[in-house]
């Protein structure tokens, strides 16, 4: 079957900088913004952009990710000609199988899958970004420029530019140079890790790169520089909407807080719905003594305490007298009577017992940070979890 | 429970449901923030492992068709069996758009019933709000050796109903209708497990004698001929929706957490419904929400007390809602005040509109109205 345009979604990363939160499941499955999982954003963008064939490359602890994606039905990706395909590393006859050793190697190992669709263009996506983007517009720009590769870029401050892969643009508008995390950035256009390749060009470069034993087999570090060196036309596609990489505790917390500001990213826009697989839960109950303001609350929650500036995923309980402020509560988290949760992330099923205290407001001291309680852990009655703490095991008073 | 077949009848929409059933059947009235009434019995069947369900429809079934679709959301989109929608077909000329009774409705799908491969049929009305453990009912049915088992509940509802009077051996041999006096026995919830062969016999009896009703004709005949009915008592929340007042009171019942816990037992017997792409509910900085049941996708900036908000409801700053049921995608603008109002889907309540019903007489705003 011939497809003009397919997507390959890199969802195999561990997200090691999220520590306890990703100990049991890959980062793309991380609950986000109440109703969602991170991977809902790229999958929904694909569906909304009219892409009906998506390969999802998995590697790190894929079980929950696999079952979440399932047939792809929530994203209307369960179509007969196309659909969503989970692509784990695999064994081949006569040779040892290999883990995906880099982002480019993951695609290299699935060249057969891409070839099966004989696409003109391939979209490469990451499973850990929060944004709404019409890939069809990006493809139109790619075709118009006649590029071998189009790279989505976003303007960042010069100070931030040191943390990103930076694209320097020549007088003709094409990318002239790519610098990974430059000390002295020459431009403020950061790569968003979203690429459209003309498939036959990428295919050739993937073979070349695979033969290079010194290569890290990474799109940013190897494939893009290799294409530049070969004189291929690389085109920047400027994106001016909301986009966040949620690779760290701080960025995950920040981006969740951004969901409380619909002017930053409007999730209530019916023309571009972010779709998800929802658990089956009744509506949430805001109790007689509840006080919920500037927050997001999801079905299945029971709120009898106060919730300010917070994001509650499904089936969260906040008991009477409990206070939750500036926090992210993942599915099934429980905050018992008179407990306090401030500037914190509670993993799935985390349990904060009566009178316990997790996190604190920023007080300007060095080392202050968001407190994190790993999934399924218990903070015992009256126990205190300091700001910036990362819990891997239960704490008792 | 692959050895049972579900059969739900969604009969006439009682005129006393007024505007709520102007464009729909009573089984498809939106209820409890995100459900339709039929979701409860349909989920109950699925949760008991039933894999084949037929839904008999009467009139105004378009919204029911739209809601049930191919049964995917109840896991009933099956290659073999699954959900079968049974709209009126092959009817006698006398049919005037509605069936007079359950037996008449069953008669219209006789060939479907004949083709049922299972020995037992779960026969249920589609207008019941209850989360029944049908596995337990089936166990009683099997263990007791009954040909017919009734699901009953204690209490004395104020609508017309039938009662079964169980004897010490657990079987009922007597049926009491409401006209014959209150209090005796248990109230039939119109959920039965019945042997298919017995059901066909009773259908034959009713067809040959021109009788149309399940209780007063078929059940009464069965008992008079020496039959006995095993009685299962359902202990949790149960209410049938016959009138606007029933609907409003059942809705307000949902604001009591104990009722909710009975209807939605934690981690078991999930109530399924048509899925809708939705975002979590947003509470604005000035939102004040007390004692409310709120579905996903709402955008709340005003004051809401003792209300049920369905998916996608918008409440602007300065709007005040008290003891209201606000259905899907309805928007209440700044300064509007509603009390004891049932707003159907897609209603627009403009700025500064003031509308107040009473507990006994809630005001209904019909679907799509602009105020």
What pLDDT does B300 receive?
97
Write the Ramachandran bin of A126: left for phi over 0, alpha for psi from -120 to 50, otherwise beta: beta
- DSSP annotation of B15: G
Integer Cα distance of B293 and B275 in angstroms:
18
Q: What is the pLDDT of residues B219-253, one digit of tens each?
A: 999 999 999 999 999 999 999 888 888 899 999 99
Q: Cβ(B92)–Cβ(B4) under 8 Å?
A: no
Asked if A295's CB is within 8 angstroms of B260's CB, the reply is: no
Backbone torsions φ then ψ of A239, nearest 5 degrees: -115, 125
Q: Do B270 and A275 touch (CB under 8 A)?
A: no
Least Cα distance to B109 among B4, B1, B5 occurs for B5
ipTM: 0.92
pLDDT at res. B266: 87
CA angle B3, B81, B275 (to 5 degrees): 110
Chain A partners within 8 Å of B255 (Cβ)? 285
In this structure, is the dihedral angle defined by the CA atoms of residues B31, B32, B37 and B43, taken in order, positive or negative?
positive
CB B329 within 8 A of CB B312: yes
Check CB contact under 8 Å for A282 and B32.
yes
B interface test, pick of A33, A258, A283 with most B CB neighbours within 10 Å: A283
| Structure tokens, B161 | 């109903």
Helix and strand numbers, DSSP H then E, in chain A: 8, 31
Q: Is B89 exposed, middle or buried (0-12, 13-18, 19+ CB in 10 A)?
A: exposed
Q: How far apart are CA A90 and CA B175, in angstroms?
A: 66
Which residues from chain A sit within 8 angstroms of residue B326, using beta carbons?
A: none
pLDDT in tens, B119-178: 999 999 999 999 999 999 999 999 999 999 999 999 777 777 899 999 999 999 999 876
Is A264 an interface residue toward B (CB < 8 Å)?
no
CA B124 to chain centre: 9
The residues facing A122 across adjacent strands are A6, A197
Q: Cβ contact (<8 Å) for A285 and B283?
A: no
DSSP assignment of B205-258 equals HHHHHT---IIIIIIHHHHHTT--EEEEE--S-EEE--SHHHHHHHHHHTTSHH
Report the C-alpha gap between B40 and A356 in whole angstroms: 39
Residues in chain A within 8 Å Cβ distance of B257: 285, 287, 302
Minimum CA–CA partner of A76 in chain B = B277
Residue B46's pLDDT is what? 97
| CA–CA distance, B60 with A277 (Å, rounded to integer) | 31
Three-state secondary structure string covering A50-111: CCCEEEEECCCCCHHHHHHHCCCHHHCCCCCCCEEEEECCCCECCECCCCCCCHHHHHHCCH
pLDDT mean over B259-287: 93
Instruction: Give per-10-residue mean pLDDT for chain A (397 aa).
Output: 94 83 87 95 96 94 91 90 91 78 93 96 94 97 97 92 91 92 91 96 96 92 94 96 92 95 89 92 96 97 97 97 98 98 97 97 89 96 94 90
Q: Alpha helices of B254-306 — where are they, by DSSP H?
A: 257-263
Which tokens hold the place of B33?
């923030």
Distance from the Cα of A36 to chain B's closest Cα (Å) equals 8
Which helix (DSSP H) or strand (DSSP E) does residue A162 occupy? none
Check residue A160 and give left, alpha or beta (phi > 0: left; psi -120 to 50: alpha).
alpha
Please tell me whether residue B81 adopts helix, strand or coil conformation.
coil
- CA of B178 vs chain A CAs: smallest distance (Å): 34
Structure confidence by residue, pLDDT tens digits, B32-62:
999 999 999 999 999 999 999 999 988 778 8
Residues A203 and A224: their CA atoms lie apart, in Å, by 13
Q: What is the mean pLDDT of residues B318-342?
A: 97
CA–chain centroid gap for B76, Å, is 18
DSSP class of A220: I
């Amino acid at each position: 079957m011939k497809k003009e345009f397919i997507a390959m979604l890199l969802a195999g990363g561990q997200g090691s900088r999220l520590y306890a939160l990703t100990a049991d499941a890959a980062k793309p499955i991380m609950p986000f913004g109440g109703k969602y999982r991170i991977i809902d954003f790229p999958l929904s963008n694909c569906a909304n952009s009219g892409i009906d064939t998506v390969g999802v490359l998995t590697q790190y602890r894929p079980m929950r990710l696999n079952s979440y994606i399932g047939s792809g039905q929530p994203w209307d990706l369960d179509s007969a000609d196309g659909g969503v395909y989970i692509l784990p590393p695999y064994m081949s006859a006569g040779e040892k199988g290999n883990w995906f050793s880099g982002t480019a190697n993951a695609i290299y190992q699935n060249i057969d899958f891409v070839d099966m669709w004989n696409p003109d263009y391939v979209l490469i996506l990451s499973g850990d970004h929060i944004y709404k983007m019409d890939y069809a517009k990006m493809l139109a720009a790619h075709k118009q420029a006649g590029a071998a590769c189009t790279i989505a870029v976003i303007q960042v401050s010069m100070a931030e530019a040191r943390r990103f892969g930076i694209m320097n643009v020549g007088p003709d508008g094409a990318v002239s140079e790519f610098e990974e995390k430059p000390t002295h950035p020459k431009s403020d256009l950061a790569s968003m890790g979203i690429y459209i390749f003309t498939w036959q060009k990428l295919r050739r470069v993937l073979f070349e790169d695979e033969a290079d034993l010194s290569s890290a087999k990474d799109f940013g570090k190897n494939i893009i520089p290799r294409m530049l060196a070969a004189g291929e036309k690389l085109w920047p596609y400027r994106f001016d909407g909301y986009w966040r990489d949620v690779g760290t505790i701080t960025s995950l917390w920040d981006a969740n807080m951004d969901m409380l500001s619909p002017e930053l990213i409007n999730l209530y826009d019916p023309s571009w719905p972010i779709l998800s697989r929802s658990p089956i839960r009744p509506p949430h109950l805001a109790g007689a003594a509840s006080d919920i303001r500037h927050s997001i609350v999801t079905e299945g929650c029971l709120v009898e305490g106060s919730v300010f500036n917070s994001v509650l995923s499904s089936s969260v309980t906040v008991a009477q007298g409990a206070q939750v402020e500036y926090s992210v509560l993942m599915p099934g988290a429980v905050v018992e009577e008179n407990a306090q949760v401030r500037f914190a992330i509670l993993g799935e099923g985390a349990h904060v017992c009566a009178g316990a205290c997790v996190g604190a407001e920023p007080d300007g001291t060095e080392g202050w940070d968001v407190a994190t309680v790993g999934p399924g852990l218990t903070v015992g009655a009256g126990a205190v979890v300091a700001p910036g703490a990362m819990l891997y095991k239960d704490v008792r008073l | 429970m692959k050895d049972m077949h579900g059969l739900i009848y969604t009969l006439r929409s009682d005129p006393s449901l007024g505007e709520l059933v102007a464009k729909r059947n009573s089984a498809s009235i939106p209820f409890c923030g995100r459900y339709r009434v039929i979701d409860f019995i349909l989920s109950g069947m699925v949760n008991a492992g039933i894999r084949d369900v037929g839904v008999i429809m009467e009139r105004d079934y378009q919204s029911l068709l739209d809601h049930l679709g191919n049964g995917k959301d109840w896991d009933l989109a099956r290659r073999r069996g699954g959900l079968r929608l049974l709209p009126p077909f092959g009817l006698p000329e006398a049919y005037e758009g509605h069936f007079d009774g359950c037996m008449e409705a069953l008669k219209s799908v006789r060939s479907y019933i004949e083709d049922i491969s299972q020995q037992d049929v779960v026969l249920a009305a589609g207008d019941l709000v209850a989360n029944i453990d049908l596995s337990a009912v089936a166990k009683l049915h099997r263990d007791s050796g009954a040909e017919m088992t009734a699901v009953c509940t204690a209490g004395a509802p104020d609508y017309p109903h039938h009662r079964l009077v169980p004897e010490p051996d657990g079987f009922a041999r007597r049926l009491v209708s409401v006209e014959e006096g209150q209090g005796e026995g248990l109230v039939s919830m119109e959920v039965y497990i019945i042997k298919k062969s017995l059901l066909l016999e009773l259908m034959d009896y009713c067809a040959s004698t021109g009788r149309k009703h399940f209780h007063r004709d078929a059940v009464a005949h069965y008992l008079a001929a020496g039959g006995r009915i095993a009685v299962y008592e359902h202990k949790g929340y149960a209410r049938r929706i016959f009138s606007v007042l029933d609907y409003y009171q059942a809705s307000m019942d949902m604001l009591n957490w104990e009722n909710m816990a009975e209807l939605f037992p934690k981690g078991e017997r999930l109530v399924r419904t048509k899925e809708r792409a939705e975002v979590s509910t947003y509470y604005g900085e000035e939102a004040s929400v007390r004692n409310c049941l709120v579905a996903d996708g709402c955008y709340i900036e005003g004051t809401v007390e003792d209300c049920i908000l369905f998916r996608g409801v918008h409440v602007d700053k300065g709007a005040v809602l008290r003891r209201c049921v606000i259905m899907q995608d309805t928007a209440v603008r700044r300064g509007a005040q509603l009390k004891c109002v049932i707003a159907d889907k897609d209603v627009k309540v403009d700025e500064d509109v003031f509308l107040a019903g009473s507990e006994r007489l809630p005001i209904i705003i019909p679907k799509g109205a602009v105020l």
